[in-house]
Chain A
Amino acid sequence: MIPAAFEYHRPKDIPAVLALLEEHGDDARVMAGGHSLIPMMKLRMADIPHLIDLQDVDGLGGIAIGEDTVRIGAMTTQADLIDHDGLFAAAPILREAAFQIADPQVRYMGTVGGNVANGDPGNDMPGLMQCLDAQFTLVGPDGERRVPARDFYEAAYMTARADEEVLTAVTFPRQAGGYAYEKQKRKIGDYATAAAAVQLVKDGGACAEASIAMTNLSDTPIWSEAAGAALVGTGVDGAAIKDAVTAMLGDIDPSEDNRGPVAFKRHVAGVILTRAIERAWSRA
């Protein structure tokens, strides 16, 4: 469990980061909290001759709660998400989800940027960000661009981010209505067997808006547009929830691992989503 030798860089600003990325190309990788990257290096599954530590880089931190939007700097830790009361008011699902990520030690180190940029289907933030319809801000040699979370993930560890780009922030609209993040895992510190992020807006007795995303049930997070659509216009009764679950099951494609075989995962995905919808609806 000892990584191959690497050069350690600790730049102070984004231009310096970009310069290093340009200079070393494939041989360089940025590091945020290091809690996904360092294990890979120790297992020698990732060989990174130039490691660029982002912790001293200006402008990557902070949580800004605007009138309509929320902006979270890439280096914000998962613990910061839990502690921020303004964020809890604007999008309470983040605290609920963050509490289900790993354990306190990991949450003090792991960052939002690292979690969404990593591209591991097991990470919880990507699905969550899809549920919230977040945008990721990427800065590269050609300047800044924004990519919707729902378009960001291509396959396991493959994202729309180019190698020479840095993810600087995530932004998403202030959330209204009910929410729930429901996750089944084998133990503390485990990735999801199945997880569901649900946001519902209630108008009168009916569901006006619904957004549903699933985690670790495909090689990317799955924002299930059809599952959400199945709830809109209904009273979110048993039949509607069943329809949403059926729609979601049409979108996911889990694979067998130590957590269990495919049939189990599909069944649990349905149970977890049902519970998430019920809880979100009860809060809407």
Chain B
Amino acid sequence: MKDDVTSREDRVANLKGMGCERKRVEDARFTQGKGNYVDDIKLDGMLAGDFVRSPYAHARVVSIDTEAALQVPGVLAVLTAKDLEPLGLHWMPTLAGDKQMVLADGKVLFQGQEVAFVVAEDRFAAADGVEAVEVEYEELPVIVDPFEALKTDVVLREDLDPNADGAHGPRKHPNHIFTWEAGEKEATEQVLDAAEVVAEENIYYHRTHPCPLETCGCVASMDKVNGKLTLYGTFQAPHAIRTVVSLISGIEEHNIRVVSPDIGGGFGNKVGAYPGYVCSVVASIVTGKPVKWIEDRMDNLMTTAFARDYHMHGKISATKEGKITGLWCHTTADHGGFDACADPTKFPAGFMNICTGSYDIPTAYLAVDGVYTNKAPGGVAYRCSFRVTEAAYFIERMIEVLAIELGMDAAELRRINFIKKEQFPYHSALGWEYDSGDYHTAWDKALKAVDYDGLRKEQAERVEAFKRGETRKLMGIGLTHFTEIVGAGPVKNCDILGLGMFDSCEIRIHPTGSAIARLGTISQGQGHATTFAQILATEIGLPADSITIEEGDTDTAPYGLGTYGSRSTPVAGAATAMAGRKIRAKAQMIAAYLLEVHDDDVEFDVDRFVIKGAPERFKTMKEIAFAAYNQAIPGIEPGLEAVSYYDPPNMTYPFGAYICVMEIDVDTGEHEIRQFYALDDCGTRINPMIIEGQVHGGLTEALAIAMGQEIAYDEMGNCKTGTLMDFFLPTAWETPNYTTDHTVTPSPHHPIGAKGVGESPNVGGVPAFSNAVHDAFRPFGLRQSHMPHDHWRIWKTANDLGLHD
């Protein structure tokens, strides 16, 4: 028996476990400039690599003359496809089952494509070397429109047999990549034919780019003495990169160590494998020295993984009263020159089949055609689970269009079509099983919070004032109720390159009652070191401050598929809880031994095991940890460690209700966000402060995408938005205030009920902003206009509606 003066409440607080607004442990180093990013890595004798890139979007490479470049002081080598070919490395596999040129093999397919790799003593000499490489091109016709691509005789991918199937089945045209279908085509068409009301619309979700603040890069270091390759890089999936490098280079996997140090944002841009990685590895093998390659901003925007670029043709049917009966969608997906989408293998259009959204739609059909064009490859999930932003934007626009068709209020139309609480788990017409939700409660809370009826009244008055010529500003109310699908995913249907999408956690408890946990994921700003320690603190009863979280080094971390698609908490977070429970199970046996009772006679209580019915007799986890290392306990191995590999039984389905109130100046096309209310339900909340931070960040990206951010090309395939002058990244000036709110509907299958939140604000935010723009013009007859809603496009909308006459 011991004196225990601390109250249970204090003991809980002391842990800083789940639900606590624990300050981010990462911030101390980041706010002091003490982070360690890839470009901070400096190895002895390190060289620099840089690319010669194609100025043309489609051209034959007639010749490459490297002689002058090799004369530049400091330049050591210039690699071309010819040099990589004997190693079989002039092409590499993509995550989507396609292959991609590492260095131009006879032709180039997009502006900025990698043509030659200059290796020099420093980056300055490398840049001069790049200038000095002379490449002769013969221009070819450029195809930037995916619809045109499916009609033209111009074949982009001459390396592919036009008659052979692609990775996802038959191809209809040499520039066609795949057709992917979900749901029931005929049944849906019958429903549409027989429907009382059908709304049809073309919805384009433009091409944009994740644009993380830190661009992509790596340092490859081949140690020729021990045969070990170390690859530091901005990898969102370090283990997958290790396996890919092993498969394509032939270096045995145990001889490869991949390290993701601090990462300055990823948002999907850093999931894939890029030519820079392959060239750096080869250059290091050739020179025997470490080689660093770091993209500049233009390289990043113009060549590494873009996002979106979905042309979605939709039809939605309903009864006269507004009950939705069917949904049909055909998408033409512009994938650029190579299919380098990062999706689970069986999902070439990602989870686009979540496009029935939050609604109980009995019959639906989706088809997606992937197409090659002369644009950069990619198609990654920019702060969303695979293609979920596209799906959410599609359904949330279709609902608005249907509301117009029906002459109904869009909030009410949503309400009468929501999946009801008692319908969960809910089987969607396109094949998903939604785990849990309570949409009506969230919706009503949101509408009440913003005084929706009051806003509508004000808007009606504004329209009248506008018509009387008293104001030139319109007011839009943007509504969204989104449902996400995150946490990929069950190994039975989710893999990348054949690697099941489980994730992992390994815990070691130290004798003095502190711990280290390593995970297969990697934080890029999400605060894993903070939140995963909180999960563990609650599970194992040691303070979060005594738990180190480590990720990103494949030599030490257990195998995992990395961080993207909001999968870290749903998958690795679950593994963490499960590994914690293994620790607890062993701790229980140790405690029982120490207390000299049967295992079943003790129970866990915050930070200790107590004897049931006699809580004054206990052993703290700290004491138990020490005992694990200093006592010989019969039948129990020494030490206190656990590993868990978690294969989730299902995805998780976070949801939310967002409302944006926007003022629009019809004369200049400028906008002002007057109010933005964001209610998120991500199940169990681990750290409310981090959730709020994630929501603010995601909403700001959504604002950018909806209101100005794009990767645009001219007809020659020149990228027009290759710098931050033209590619919109909001600053504090453009960013509005956000009001955040929540409901809590735990996931029934996740060990702690958590669902993931990092991507919800991007998924829900884009339609909220876009719907606000559309809603402002709805009284004047607007049905659909395309993002991004920058000044001139909004102005054009007003102009087309005759509002400038």
Contact = CB atoms under 8 A, between A and B. Distances in A.
Please indicate whether A and B come from the same complex rather than being unrelated chains.
yes
Interface of A: 1-2, 4-5, 44, 103, 184, 186-191, 193, 258-261, 263-264, 267-268, 271-272
A259 B124 contact: no
15 contacts: A2-B123, A2-B124, A5-B124, A184-B668, A184-B791, A187-B730, A187-B733, A188-B731, A188-B733, A259-B791, A260-B791, A268-B668, A268-B791, A271-B667, A272-B668
Given A187-B708, A258-B721, 11 more contacts: A4-B128, A187-B728, A187-B730, A187-B731, A187-B734, A189-B731, A191-B725, A258-B726, A259-B792, A268-B791, A271-B667
B276 to A, nearest CB: 15
Nearest to A188: B733
Contacts of B669: 264, 268
Contacts of B730: 187
The main secondary structure of chain A at its interface with chain B is loop
Contacts of A260: 790-792, 795
Interface in B30-60: none
B734 A188 contact: yes
B730 to A, nearest CB: 7
A258 B724 CA distance: 12
| Most B C-beta atoms less than 10 A away, residue of A4, A44, A186, A263 | A186
B131 A44 contact: yes
Contacts of A44: 131
Q: Which of A2, A184, A191 has the most CB of B within 10 A?
A: A2
A268 B123 CA distance: 44
B804 interface: yes
B128 A5 contact: yes
Contacts of A271: 667-668
Contacts of B726: 258
A267 B667 contact: yes
A4 B73 CA distance: 13
Contact of A190 (B296, B667, B712, B725): B725
Contacts of A187: 708, 728, 730-731, 733-734
Contacts of A268: 667-669, 791, 795
A68 B310 CA distance: 62
B721 A186 contact: no
Interface string B84-115: 00000000000000000000000000000000
Interface in B664-683: 667-670
Top 10 nearest A-B pairs by Cβ distance? A260-B792, A2-B127, A1-B296, A188-B733, A264-B792, A271-B667, A258-B726, A188-B731, A264-B795, A268-B668
Given A4-B131, A268-B668, A189 B792 contact: no
A276 B733 CA distance: 22
A259 B297 CA distance: 21
B123 A193 contact: no
Contacts of A188: 731, 733-734
Contact of A103 (B124, B720, B725, B731): B731
B135 interface: no
B796 interface: yes
B792 A261 contact: yes
A258 B128 contact: no
Contacts of B123: 2
A258 B712 contact: yes
Interface in B278-305: 296-298
B700 to A, nearest CB: 13
Contacts of A193: 791
A103 to B, nearest CB: 7
A4 B731 CA distance: 31
Given A186-B708, A267-B804, A1 B297 contact: yes
Contact of A186 (B128, B298, B667, B790): B790
A5 B73 CA distance: 12
Contacts of B728: 186-187
B792 A1 contact: no
A259 B788 CA distance: 12
Contacts of A1: 296-298
Contacts of B721: 258
B718 to A, nearest CB: 12
A184 B731 contact: no
A191 B726 CA distance: 10
Nearest to B712: A258
A263 B297 CA distance: 32
B641 to A, nearest CB: 47
A267 B128 CA distance: 45
Nearest to B796: A264
Nearest to A191: B725
A258 to B, nearest CB: 5
B326 to A, nearest CB: 39
A261 B734 CA distance: 23
A284 to B, nearest CB: 24
A190 B127 CA distance: 28
Contacts of B127: 2
